[in-house]
């Protein structure tokens, strides 16, 4: 039952936002009493904490799988982007904004975990790109991987990128291309162009 509660909560939080969804909403959706939820979670904050943690773990598993099977670092970053967008396909509100506003401690902890995970995977990917001649050999891999995370976090700032002007798909797609064009060699740019052209044809 605990797993069912977490899965339904994740769906509702992404769809409606962390603040908007009540314990009553979750209970009604599952056809159970609110008391049943409180048997597993002492309060809503604890439910939000465990739900976001599980969502993060699932995304990490998917990213690890992509990193282990992707043909090159350029396609790897695009595949990760597409995977994350698919995972968040039901995100109709701005759950990250609500999480930051109403559950700042959970947001801060999650943000740190995201950085630790992304920094390692992006750093490894960039080093692979340098070693295979796709990325410039003179780039500071540690610095660029941190900048990449900072940029990916920054495009979620609605004050700078309002959702009525920019979709998250558009922002992620364009930031990724912007990032790659800054670090690619000529060989890397050819690989990038080939991949973009192939994607646009599909």
Q: In CATH, what number is assigned to the domain containing residue 153?
A: 1.10.357.10
Taking only the tens place, the pLDDT of each residue in 153-180 is 899 888 899 888 998 889 999 999 999 9
Q: For the chain, list residues with pLDDT below 70.
A: 87-94, 202
Do the domain assignments include residue 11?
A: no
Q: What is the pLDDT of residue 179?
A: 96
Q: What is the pLDDT of residue 93?
A: 53
Q: What is the pLDDT of residue 10?
A: 93
The domain total for the chain is 1
pTM (two decimals):
0.82
Q: Which residues of 121-158 are buried (b: 16+ CB within 10 A; e: fewer)?
A: bbbebbbbbbeeebbeeebebeebbbebbeebeeebee
Do the domain assignments include residue 68?
A: yes
Domain coverage including residue 157 = 50-201
Strands (E) in 53-200, as ranges, are: none
Q: What is the pLDDT of residue 4?
A: 95
Do the domain assignments include residue 22?
A: no
Asked whether the beta carbons of 131 and 50 are under 8 A apart, the reply is no
């Amino acid at each position: 039952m605990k797993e069912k509660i977490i899965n339904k909560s994740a769906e509702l939080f992404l769809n409606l936002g962390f603040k908007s969804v009540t314990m009553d909403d979750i209970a009604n959706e599952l056809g159970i009493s609110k008391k049943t939820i409180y048997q597993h979670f002492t309060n809503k904050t604890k439910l939000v904490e465990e739900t976001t943690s599980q969502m993060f773990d699932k995304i990490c598993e998917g990213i690890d799988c992509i990193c282990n099977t992707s043909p090159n670092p350029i396609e790897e970053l695009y595949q990760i982007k597409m995977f994350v967008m698919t995972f968040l396909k039901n995100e109709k509100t701005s759950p990250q904004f609500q999480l930051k506003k109403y559950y700042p401690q959970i947001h801060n902890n999650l943000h740190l975990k995201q950085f630790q995970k992304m920094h390692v995977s992006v750093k490894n990917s960039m080093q692979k790109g340098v070693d295979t001649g796709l990325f410039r050999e003179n780039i500071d891999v540690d610095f660029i991987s941190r900048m990449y995370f900072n940029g990916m976090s920054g495009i979620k700032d609605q004050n700078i990128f309002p959702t009525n002007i920019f979709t998250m798909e558009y922002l992620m797609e364009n930031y990724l291309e912007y990032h790659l064009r800054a670090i690619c060699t000529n060989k890397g740019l050819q690989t990038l162009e080939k991949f973009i052209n192939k994607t646009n044809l599909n």
